[in-house]
A and B are shown apart, each in its own frame.
Chain A
Amino acid sequence: EIVLTQSPGTLSLSPGERATLSCRASQNVSSSYLAWYQQKPGQAPRLLIYGASSRATGIPDRFSGSGSGTDFTLTISRLEPEDFAVYYCQQYGSSPLTFGGGTKVEIK
């Protein structure tokens, strides 16, 4: 099983600042089968990034993903008020599919 470790656990930032979230895998994630999701309280997760760097439909370009192998990053270039949420990475190239523990981006 591929274990995904997200850091930091909590990121305290102000609107307009840049957010950098990390996801590290215990083994190589094949073909960059890595996704990022955003989840707000009381809502289902929303797909942001798939294939490590491709934005899902309707996702603003302030969200970007990068990385390969075992190290992946989600960057939010300038935080908007609606971006404060929990973010999860997921690998879907190896069964069982696994999620990271999440990073909470909170308002400073």
Chain B
Amino acid sequence: EVQLVESGGGVVRPGGSLRLSCAASGFTFDDYGMSWVRQVPGKGLEWVSGINWNGGSTGYADSVKGRFTISRDSAKNSLYLQMNSLRAEDTALYHCARARGYSYGYDAFDIWGQGTMVTVSS
């Protein structure tokens, strides 16, 4: 079964750090671009960051640029999001998503994980 499972969410104080993980299974991880998309409960979707199939190209939303870093490990079939200098407005459910092609852009997201919740609060 093709599956993405996120982990690493939790409660963190403003200014703190957190590292999210996304474990992929059921497909050849190296063949696909990947992204993180977040959603405040009850609100809409916001693309956060993306990475192409080999990690050679990455992209970020302006709201997280300079604070978040996306990476991937083909040996572990895993996607990561290192989040530093966290703010209250980063509070959301974070989904990882697979692009239909090699790039994180130029193709839609056909597989999504259920998400991991991040709460930034003092």
> Which A residues are within 8 Å of any B CB, using their own CB?
1, 33, 35, 37, 39, 43-47, 50-51, 56-57, 88, 90, 92-102
Min distance, Cβ B93 to any Cβ of chain A, angstroms: 9
Q: Are B106 and A99 interface neighbours, CB within 8 A? A: no
User: Can you list 27 A-B pairs, Cβ within 8 angstroms, ordered by A?
Assistant: A33-B105, A33-B106, A33-B107, A37-B45, A43-B114, A46-B112, A47-B108, A47-B109, A50-B100, A50-B108, A57-B110, A88-B44, A90-B47, A90-B109, A92-B99, A92-B105, A94-B105, A95-B59, A95-B105, A96-B61, A97-B59, A99-B45, A99-B46, A99-B47, A100-B44, A101-B44, A102-B44
Task: Note all chain A residues with C-beta closer than 8 A to B107.
Answer: 33, 50, 92
Task: Note all chain A residues with C-beta closer than 8 A to B113.
Answer: 44
User: B60 in the interface, Cβ–Cβ < 8 Å?
Assistant: yes
Min distance, Cβ B19 to any Cβ of chain A, angstroms: 21
Q: How far is the CA of A100 from the CA of B46 in the complex (A)?
A: 9
Chain B residue at smallest Cβ distance from A34: B108
User: Which one of B61, B99, B109, B112 has the greatest number of beta carbons of chain A within 10 Å?
Assistant: B109
User: Which one of A37, A90, A97 has the greatest number of beta carbons of chain B within 10 Å?
Assistant: A97
Task: Note all chain B residues with C-beta closer than 8 A to A35.
Answer: 108-109
Q: Are A92 and B106 interface neighbours, CB within 8 A? A: yes
User: B35 in the interface, Cβ–Cβ < 8 Å?
Assistant: yes
Q: How far is the CA of A57 from the CA of B110 in the complex (A)?
A: 9
